[in-house]
Amino acid sequence: MSEIPFKGEIRRDYITGSDVIFTFSRDKRPKDFRSEEVMYGNAENCPFEYGKENLNTTIKFVGEPWKLRLMYNKYPIVNDEVTPYKNSDFFTKYVNYGHSYVIVDTPEHSQRFHEIDDSLLQKWFDLVAEAEKLAYSDKKIRHVYTFRNSGSISGGSLYHPHTQIIGFTFILPIIKQELEIIKNNHGRCILEEALKKEKERVLIEDDEAVAFAPYGSRFRGHSIIMPKRHIDYVGRLKEKETKSLAKFIKTILSRNYKIFGSHSYNLIFHELKDNKKIHFYIEIAPRFSNFGAMELSGLYLNSLRPEEYVQRFNETN
């Protein structure tokens, strides 16, 4: 029996309308978070260490020796080898075409993201922008999703600090939802309107950027970091803006660390290139538990009101 090896596909759940990516070959990927005892992984087995560059295909090194590294994801959730597109009158299936990149954020296995030098974090922004431009240079790509999973309950599988950049041929549901909200707001920028009303929940602000704990924070210590200028994606940031954003990310992550102790978090870019409605922002979502049945219903539980978080944030330095 000669069967084509499974290359992954996207199926739509006909009950809820959710799309599900069935990945390929990911079971073989290295895992640092198999159990609590190996929370921090093992630098010895880590594929992102110096001297193991040949394990992944590098697109670009930054620094000599390298301090940042952009490469192809060895275990992509979307890829340019695709199974044939198939559809019936009941089952919906998409090809999982796309591009998956990884940035190794630091050569140091145990360095925390907020401990990285300011100037390097600015270069990290430049490298993310470069990776996104690379993905968008393929005209089939409509949305690039950039994120960091950090810690055992963030959904991440490797401890070594890294960033993922994934180009999809469709717009992800969260951005579609946000576009719908903007549409219902008569097309006006919801973030700029929010800023006028979120004064009491502002965490940090300067001339270029602002960070606040949103009124309806879905997570304890939830924050939004945005440039003040209305831009659609990371590729349009100016140097002075990346400087502010990098500083704000560092400040928030390090104070969260002091407030909550060691914890998992997700850092997510919300953006859509060439969409004039979208105002680019970065979301930091501290994670203290896995999603339960409540969250699976679409309703979130949060035991820390954002006002309280802002107060604790201001008391910490």
Q: Which residues bind Zn ion (CB under 5 A)?
A: 43, 46, 48-49, 109, 160, 189, 192, 230, 279
Q: For residues 175 and 189, which CB has a smaller minimum distance to Zn ion in the complex?
A: 189
How far, in Å, CA of 17 to CA of 53, rounded? 41
Q: Nearest distance from residue 45's CB to Zn ion, in Å? A: 9
Min. distance of Cβ 13 from Zn ion in angstroms? Answer: 33
**Which residue lies nearer to Zn ion by CB, 156 or 167?**
156
Looking at the Cβ atoms of 46 and 268, the one nearer to Zn ion is 46
Rounded CA-CA distance 164/150 in Å is 11
Minimum Å gap between C-beta 141 and Zn ion is 23
CA–CA separation, 237 vs 245, rounded Å? 10
Min dist. Cβ of residue 187 to Zn ion (A): 11
Nearer to Zn ion, 43 or 55 (CB): 43
CB 140 → Zn ion: shortest distance, Å? 28
In whole angstroms, the minimum distance from the beta carbon of 199 to Zn ion comes to 17
Smallest gap, in angstroms, from Cβ of residue 50 to Zn ion? 9
Give ∠ CA 209-60-104 in degrees, rounded to 5: 65
Minimum distance from CB of 185 to Zn ion (Å)?
11
Minimum CB distance to Zn ion smaller for 122 or for 275: 275
- Given a contact cutoff of 8 angstroms between Cβ atoms, the answer to whether 283 and 211 are in contact is no
3 state SS for the chain: CCCCCCCCEEEECCCCCCEEEECCCHHHCCCCCCCHHHCCCCHHHCCCCCCCHHHCCEEEEECCCCCEEEEECCCCCCCCCCCCCCECCCCEEECCCEEEEEEECCCCCCCCHHHCCHHHHHHHHHHHHHHHHHHHCCCCCCEEEEEEEECCCCCCCCCCCEEEEEEECCCCHHHHHHHHHHHHCCCCCHHHHHHHHCHHHEEEECCCEEEECCCCCCCCCCEEEEECCCCCCHHHCCHHHHHHHHHHHHHHHHHHHHHHCCCEEEEEEECCCCCCCCCCEEEEEEECCCCCHHHHCCCCCCCCCHHHHHHHHHHCC
Which C-beta is closer to Zn ion: that of 69 or that of 160? Answer: 160
* Residue closer to Zn ion, measured from CB, 182 or 203: 182
Nearer to Zn ion among residue 86 and residue 276 (C-beta)? 276
